């Protein structure tokens, strides 16, 4: 999957960013990803008057993934209110890891990286599986 059109994916993320509901932080975020069946999913942040309840753009994207048929993410990008690349927060790296295809790529501020590079030695479904089934 080295033939990813990052610019197009970033444009979709920017479109999602324009739908953000971020009246408290005034920091709109958009995210977009390619699914292993070729679908594209996207999301925006949705804040709340109870600040801690706000949803990151990645939460919205992962919900979109589930609602449109599931699957695993092969390429991901995220942008800020200027359309510039934004690194997913720590919690969202974990969210993405759960739904990532092996070797999922992310467009980052320091180049294209794999999910394993941005969340090394990740905790995930395998640890639960190993504990329960040996
Ligand atoms: N935000 C995201 O949507 N994704 C990230 O990975 C970083 C932070 C949102 C959360 C909040 O609505 C706003 O950016 C400011 O933190």
| Digit-coded pLDDT (tens) for 31-42 | 999 999 999 999
What is the C-alpha to C-alpha distance for residues 58 and 44, in angstroms, rounded to an integer? 7
Task: Read off the pTM.
Answer: 0.96
8 Å CB contact between 121 and 87:
no
What is the pLDDT averaged over residues 73-87? 98
For the stretch 101-118, pLDDT in tens is: 999 999 999 999 999 999
Q: Kindly write down the DSSP assignment for every residue of 5-63, as one continuous string.
A: -HHHHHHHHHHHHTT-B-TTT----EEEEEETTS-EEEEE-B--SSGGG-B-HHHHHHH
Nearest CA to ligand 1 atom 1: 56
Q: Which residues line ligand 1 (CB under 6 A)?
A: 22, 25, 27, 29, 45, 47, 54, 56-58, 88-89, 92
8 Å CB contact between 12 and 25:
no
Mean pLDDT of the chain: 97
For the stretch 2-25, pLDDT in tens is: 699 999 999 999 999 999 999 999
Per-residue pLDDT at 76 exceeds 70: yes
From the alpha carbon of 91, which atom of ligand 1 is closest?
6
Q: Which residues are catalytic?
A: 58
């Amino acid at each position: 999957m080295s033939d990813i059109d990052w610019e197009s994916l970033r444009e979709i993320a920017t479109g999602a960013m324009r739908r953000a509901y971020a009246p408290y932080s005034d920091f709109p975020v958009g995210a977009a990803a390619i699914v292993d069946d070729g679908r594209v999913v996207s999301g925006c942040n949705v804040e709340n008057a109870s600040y801690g309840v706000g949803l990151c753009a990645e939460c919205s994207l992962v919900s979109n993934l589930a609602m449109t048929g599931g699957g695993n993410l092969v390429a991901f990008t995220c942008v800020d209110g200027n359309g510039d690349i934004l690194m997913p927060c720590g919690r969202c790296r974990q969210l993405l890891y759960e739904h990532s295809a092996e070797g999922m790529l992310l467009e980052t501020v320091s180049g294209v990286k794999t999910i394993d590079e941005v969340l090394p030695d990740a905790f995930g479904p395998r640890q639960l599986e190993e504990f329960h089934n040996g």
